[in-house]
Structure 1
Amino acid sequence: MATGDLAVRVTFSIQTVVGILGNFSLLYHYLLLRFTGYRPRSTDLIIKNLIVANILVLFSVGIYNTLSSFGWYHIFNDFGCKFFPYVRRVGRGVSTGTTCLLSVFQAIAISPRNSRWAALKGKALKCIVPSIVLCWVLQVLVNIIYPMFLTSTLNNKNITNRESFGRCSTIFQDKTRDPLYVALLSFPDMVFLVLMLWASSSIVFILYRHKQRVQHILRTNVSSTSSPESTATKTILLLVSTFVYFNTLSSIFHIVLGLLDNLSWYILSTNLVFSLCFPTISPFLLMSRDPRVSMVCFAWIRNIKSPHPMRNM
């Protein structure tokens, strides 16, 4: 048990530190792009929102559980059991909605001119900010149920109808309403997931059709993989695939947690570790696939030597 506890402490610490450094590095990358005069992409605002959601998840899960595993959980007490799970759920929900928005927007952006989605290209740009605001408002309101029913197991209240989740527990007031609460919390994520899968399938189909067309072009300077738009599209597909993979694993553990009465410490810890995987990996995935990362470094060096800033891209 001591070995497993130590492994969880180290895993939480590594994921939290690496994830926070990665997300702040990606945010610094976008700030550097702005100050060096590069024209921002239409998806940059969506990715910045994803960075904020990732940081919320990393702080709420990583820092709280790292401190708790080292015996400092008494500092947060009942407040920690209400605040940190609420922030984690909001951050995770916003991350799901943002990834969905990113895939849907890219599917519309790369749609052919003769497609029925071509008319939405101009409107999609205007809908980015309202969609992000709506996503935040939806997650803040839906997940308000968490601080209402979560409490610390360390308090002195004699409550019999509670289910323990380690250092926190859920208070059941009416078991007949539990399926309603689960459906309410799961419905937005299910809608986002369905839209995400639909958009990703559309992107794969559009890329396949485009590849079939360019095979008939004899000019060697035309390539479906060398264009920045194609690279960005494949990056979003990889990001969505990574999200779906870890979200599926996390969902399986959530189902197990809901079915079991006596929850295992290892199941709880493994579920939290999986919930940190996407916020930790996604910034490095985006930076490794973005050709502007290396270009902006050279541009920044040249701008230091030259008084005239670059205005390209």
Structure 2
Amino acid sequence: MADAHVSMGVILLAQTVVGFVGNLSLLSHYLFLSCMGNRMRATDLILRHLILANFLCLLCRGVPQTMVAWGWRNFFNDMGCKMVFYLYRVGRGVAIGSTCSLSIFQAVSISQGDSRWAGLKGRAHKHIVSTVYFSWGVFPLVSIVFPMYITGCRAHNNMTILKAFGYCSSVRHDPTEDVLHMTMLLVPDVLCLGLMLWASTSMLFVLYRHKQKMRHIQRTSVFTRASPESRATISILLLVTAFVSFYAMSCISQICLSVIYNPSPVLYLIAAFAMGCFPALSPFLLMSRHSTPCSLLFTCTKKKKVVLP
């Protein structure tokens, strides 16, 4: 068991470090563009909020779980536990909202002229910032119930502990309240996931139609490259696919922790790894739409202004 803890500690540490480096690199790219006076695209505004949400997730879940894997215990008091879990939940929610806004905006941007969404192209960028800030308003409000279940390991003298995480614990409440609070937490997630799947389906349909139209050109010219819109769409589709996959892994691990009466500490570490996959890997998926690292860092030397898609 000790070897398993050490191995998971190494994996979680590597995941956290890689996630911080990736998000910091992407954030530095956008700061560099801002300092050079370049106008940011609407999608870049969403991505900056996604980067901040990723930092919250890695800091509030990846770092504590790594410390637990390496043998530290009970390093948070009651207020610290509530704050860490609350900030993680907010970061996770904003990541869902940002990914949802990004997929919807891209779906509207690449919609065909005969589509009913084509009329929204000119107005989409005006509302995209509002949707992101709306996520920062909704998810902190919804997540306010989450600290009610969290307490420090040394603050449960007269409580029946439901689960212990090594550095914090969750306490048992009335079953009716549990169902109500769980519904409040799940409704925004399910709504955003549904919108993401709808937008992804729309983008796949548009890409398929575009591929059918361009098939003749691709056959006659070996140097034909995908358009910037197509590359950006594929990148966002990869991001949404990764998010849905890792979200499903996280839900499965959470269900296992809920139904198992006395889960192994390694299972908690595996669940933490599943929760940290998206914030750690998403910046690299976003950077993959650039052909080389140099083009990521020095895009502004090629274009003085970045136009809206």
Give the TM-score normalised by structure 1. Answer: 0.89
* Residue type of the alignment partner of 1:142: V
Distance 2:136 2:23 in 1: 19
* Residue type of the alignment partner of 2:165: G
Residues 36, 299 of structure 1: 8 Å contact kept? no
User: Secondary structure of the residue that 1:164 maps to in structure 2?
Assistant: strand
Q: Match of 1:30?
A: 30
Q: Offset at 1:147?
A: 1.4
Residues 239, 282 of structure 1: 8 Å contact kept? yes
Residues 108, 118 of structure 2: 8 Å contact kept? yes
Residues 43, 102 of structure 1: 8 Å contact kept? yes
Residues 94, 135 of structure 2: 8 Å contact kept? yes
Q: 2:304 aligns with which of 301, 306, 311?
A: 311
Q: Match of 1:294?
A: 294
Q: Which residues of 2 match residues 95-134 of structure 1 at below 5 A? A: 95-134=95-134
Q: 1:175 to 1:156 in 2, by over 3 A?
A: closer
Q: 1:248 to 1:145 in 2, by over 3 A?
A: same
Deviation per residue, 1:78-100 (Å, 9 max, x gap): 23321111111111111111111
Residues 210, 224 of structure 1: 8 Å contact kept? no
Q: Match of 2:42?
A: 42
Bigger mean CA deviation after superposition, 173-182 or 285-294: 285-294
Q: Match of 1:238?
A: 238
Q: Offset at 1:10?
A: 1.0
Bigger mean CA deviation after superposition, 288-297 or 246-255: 288-297
Deviation per residue, 1:97-130 (Å, 9 max, x gap): 1111111100000001121001111221111111
Q: Match of 1:306?
A: none
User: Secondary structure of the residue that 1:102 maps to in structure 2?
Assistant: helix
Give the TM-score normalised by structure 2. Answer: 0.90
Bigger mean CA deviation after superposition, 210-219 or 6-15: 210-219
Q: Offset at 1:20?
A: 0.6
Q: Match of 1:282?
A: 282
Q: Which residues of 2 match residues 1-313 of structure 1 at below 5 A? A: 1-155=1-155, 157-160=157-160, 162-167=161-166, 168-216=168-216, 225-291=225-291, 293-295=293-295, 297=297, 311=304
Q: 1:158 to 1:102 in 2, by over 3 A?
A: same
Q: 1:53 to 1:298 in 2, by over 3 A?
A: closer
Q: Structure 1 regions of 5+ residues with no counterpart?
A: 304-308
Q: Structure 2 regions of 5+ residues with no counterpart?
A: none
Q: 1:292 to 1:131 in 2, by over 3 A?
A: farther
Residues 89, 143 of structure 1: 8 Å contact kept? yes
Residues 56, 88 of structure 1: 8 Å contact kept? yes
* Residue type of the alignment partner of 2:79: F
Distance 1:273 1:152 in 2: 22
RMSD: 2.4
Q: Percent identical across equivalent pairs?
A: 45
* Residue type of the alignment partner of 2:233: T
